[in-house]
Structure 1
Amino acid sequence: MNNQLPNFYSETSRKTLGWLAVFGSAFFFYLATLIIRWAEPYVTIESAYFVFARLFLGFIIVCITMAFQNKRLHPRKYHYLIGRTLANTVAVFCFYKAVELGSVAEANILNMTYPLFVAIFSWFFLRGQRDLLSLLIVAIAFCGVWLVLSPGKITPDLGNLWGLCSGITAAIAIIYLNISRRYHDSQTILFFMFGLGTTLMLIFFHDSIFIPNTKEFFFLFSCSVAGVLGQYLITYGFLFVTAVEGSIISSSRILLAAILGPILVAGPSLTISGWCGALLIFAANTGLALRKV
């Protein structure tokens, strides 16, 4: 009996650490968007530059990590690596663009619709994962998406459309990631995601990228650190929690954004319909996670 106590406490502490890491990742992903909004009164930096800075910092960290661990790249299926990179880069760009043009809270909520689109894409492209109940959950969740977008309006806000686009492309990135993991280790995937993503942003948005002054560098670096730290925390956290626990905790970013957005960035509070939509999306993400058990 006494021999089992240390193992129990050890397992409990690892799980607690995993929960904290995944929740921390949700917070830092949200913090990155707050920094973009906080920067607006002081500097003029386009969202493309924030994306470039985040990818570039991630690439430097991956290269340093691989050098210290003496690891080599082992690419096998290049089309999966490229697909993951393209989808992830577009998703982050759309997400940051949604923050630039709209509400921080709504941008985060709509970005977290990606599990819904994963379920939809899986229905069409992964026949072995078709699930009628999951599709019903998604249908209910899209009522929540409509409530967040623009209930009662003829056309939704442009920022919200960018946010929804980020959810769609993030779902594609997740599917590519799941497939790519069958053939590649994490470092190889991250190397291509950050390295190729940085190159693409430099090619297509070079006009938005410049040598920053001290104040501009501060906001770019802070946002990048928050984004990359969120990426590493979620990777670390999932080592100690189940996929279901991790998915539910990650979705807490919906509630963080809804509660803290108006307080931290003086943005507009969610309407009653917006709150109902956010809770529907959160409940749907939780339901889809539980369906995986």
Structure 2
Amino acid sequence: MLYEGGVEMDKSKGNYKGIFFVALSALFFSLNSVFAKIAMQNSNYSGIVMAFGRFIVGFVIFLAYVVFKKKNLKPNNMKYIILRAIFNALTIIFFFISVQFTTITNANMLNMTYPVFVFLMAPYMNNEKVKKIYYSFLILTMIGYYLIVFPDFNSINKGDVAGLMAGLMAAFAVSFLREARKQDESYLIMFYLMLIGSIITFIMVVSNLEIPTPMVAFYIFFSALMGVLGQLFITIGYRYVDSATGALVASSRIIFGVILGVSLFSEMLSLRIIVGGILIMISLVGVSGILYKYLHNAEKSL
């Protein structure tokens, strides 16, 4: 059984709650990339500056929360909180570099390759068993990814490479999040994540910082806000789902990315992209357990 606020909660309800929060985080992460892309198109800022904006806004928000609520900042296990923060910072840096040099669709899709690595890491880093049927959903997901990106192996886009690196770093970040969440609360993980991320990215951009125009500042702020909300919801979501389930549910981000990329940036939408999206959605339905529950209830009613 799961517990929330000291109240016993049914495991299946907790699982659906976790799926909801992780899926919601995927939407906010997609909007995060959209606002960042617009900001970079209207300025000379790099992806690393976008990453710094996201972390510093998040740090201010969680610092205010900690002060207002008079929260304790002493973690039970600092090791996993620090590891989570470092790998998350690397994920965000690579992701915004990807957004800078490739399409919104590709950036979000390549970042979402991390379920592959999470599946490989879960038994060793989180001591979690992975259901064999999940590998079938994983195969469908990866086919969907390929159809959406359809990479040209004759030339290498550095934005696509950065996207793949973001996916690899995200797998480590998710695995460490799962361990950190077992011992510490969401606000504590988020506070140190934003603090350490702010320090790392500030060191990288301090020599090139300049005051943005009001319009660019607006887009940077909303990019950061969407990213912070996405980070908060995924942190809450992983309290209720295991790493593998959370990773695949988070794949809905690629669907949001495609929709936003096509509608706002006129990115190409073809039959293979549509088919890829359908395959990913099938995987999400499968891993959520909704189909199994429906079939089980139907069987009981016979």
TM-score of the superposed pair, with normalisation by structure 1: 0.79
Distance 1:41 1:270 in 2: 21
RMSD, matched Cα: 3.4
Distance 2:95 2:32 in 1: 11
Contact 2:190 2:232 in 1 (8 A): no
Where in structure 2 are the equivalents of 1:199-214 lying within 5 Å? 199-214=199-214
- Larger mean Cα displacement after TM superposition, 189-198 or 141-150: 141-150
User: Residues 128 and 185 of structure 1: is their aligned pair in 2 closer, same or farther, counting only changes over 3 Å?
Assistant: closer
2:53 aligned residue: 53
2:171 aligned residue: 171
Structure 2 unmatched ranges of 5 or more: 1-14, 294-302
User: Residues 64 and 127 of structure 1: is their aligned pair in 2 closer, same or farther, counting only changes over 3 Å?
Assistant: closer
User: Residues 259 and 220 of structure 1: is their aligned pair in 2 closer, same or farther, counting only changes over 3 Å?
Assistant: closer
2:272 aligned residue: 273
1:116 aligned residue: 116
1:95 aligned residue: 95
Task: Measure how far apart 1:217 and its partner are.
Answer: 2.1
What SS does the corresponding residue of 1:205 show, helix, strand or coil? helix
What SS does the corresponding residue of 1:192 show, helix, strand or coil? helix
2:83 aligned residue: 83
Distance 1:33 1:256 in 2: 11
TM-score of the superposed pair, with normalisation by structure 2: 0.77
Could you report, residue by residue, the CA deviation over 1:129-150 in whole angstroms, capped at 9, with x for unpaired residues? 2443333433443333333343
Distance 2:65 2:132 in 1: 43
Q: Which amino acid aligns with 2:177?
A: L
Contact 2:122 2:130 in 1 (8 A): yes
Distance 1:127 1:90 in 2: 24
Contact 2:23 2:249 in 1 (8 A): yes
Structure 1 unmatched ranges of 5 or more: 1-14
Task: Measure how far apart 1:20 and its partner are.
Answer: 7.6
What SS does the corresponding residue of 1:196 show, helix, strand or coil? helix
Aligned residues: 278
Contact 2:83 2:176 in 1 (8 A): yes
Could you report, residue by residue, the CA deviation over 1:48-107 in whole angstroms, capped at 9, with x for unpaired residues? 111111111111111111111111112233221111011111111121111111110121
Contact 2:147 2:273 in 1 (8 A): yes
Contact 1:149 1:156 in 2 (8 A): no
Distance 1:237 1:152 in 2: 35
Contact 1:105 1:257 in 2 (8 A): yes
Q: Which amino acid aligns with 1:63?
A: L
User: Residues 208 and 131 of structure 1: is their aligned pair in 2 closer, same or farther, counting only changes over 3 Å?
Assistant: farther
Distance 2:154 2:123 in 1: 30
Contact 2:109 2:149 in 1 (8 A): no
Distance 2:42 2:257 in 1: 23
Distance 1:196 1:222 in 2: 21
Distance 1:24 1:137 in 2: 21
- Larger mean Cα displacement after TM superposition, 150-159 or 97-106: 150-159
Contact 1:143 1:277 in 2 (8 A): yes
Could you report, residue by residue, the CA deviation over 1:216-235 in whole angstroms, capped at 9, with x for unpaired residues? 32222121122223333455
Q: Which amino acid aligns with 1:212?
A: P
Distance 1:93 1:72 in 2: 29
Could you report, residue by residue, the CA deviation over 1:13-50 in whole angstroms, capped at 9, with x for unpaired residues? xx999988665533322112111222244221111111
Could you report, residue by residue, the CA deviation over 1:202-247 in whole angstroms, capped at 9, with x for unpaired residues? 12332343333433322221211222233334556788x8779977
Contact 1:112 1:254 in 2 (8 A): yes
Q: Which amino acid aligns with 2:110?
A: L
